[in-house]
């Protein structure tokens, strides 16, 4: 697994993205190939390749990712009607970029995730 991902470059603003939120722990931006009317990715600013790579030292980051997802869902106007959070882990689950990320999906799915 790589130590550099496209998400790392987005976090550092080396690649343009529609960033909705960024702080010292996480960055959130719109997915370039959305599966729903609202499709935002929330990523930790440190590289964690998969859920299998988390440890207790990541606990505050993971909790913060969920809190920010709820904030963005409210800001995007999907919290009342409902949304889903999805984390894929490894190839057979559909993970394509090995930098842990939460998909925030609001509205009916346009295609499978």
- List residues with catalytic annotation: 101
DSSP class of residue 22 equals E
- DSSP track, the chain: --S--HHHHHHTTSS---EEEE-SSEEEEE-SS-SSSEEEEEEESS---SGGG--GGGHHHHHHHHHHHHHHHHHTT-TTT-EEEE---SGGGT--SSS--EEEEESS-SS--
């Amino acid at each position: 697994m790589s130590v550099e991902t496209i998400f790392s470059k987005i976090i550092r603003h080396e690649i343009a993205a529609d960033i909705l939120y960024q702080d010292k722990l996480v960055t959130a931006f719109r997915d370039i190939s959305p599966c729903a009317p609202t499709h935002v990715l929330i990523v930790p600013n440190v590289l964690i390749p998969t859920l299998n790579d988390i440890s207790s030292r990541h606990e505050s980051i993971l909790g913060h990712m969920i809190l920010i997802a709820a904030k963005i869902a409210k800001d995007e106007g999907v919290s009342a009607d409902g949304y889903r959070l999805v984390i894929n882990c490894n190839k057979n689950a559909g993970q394509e970029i090995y930098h842990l990320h939460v998909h925030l999906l609001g509205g009916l799915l346009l295609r499978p995730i």
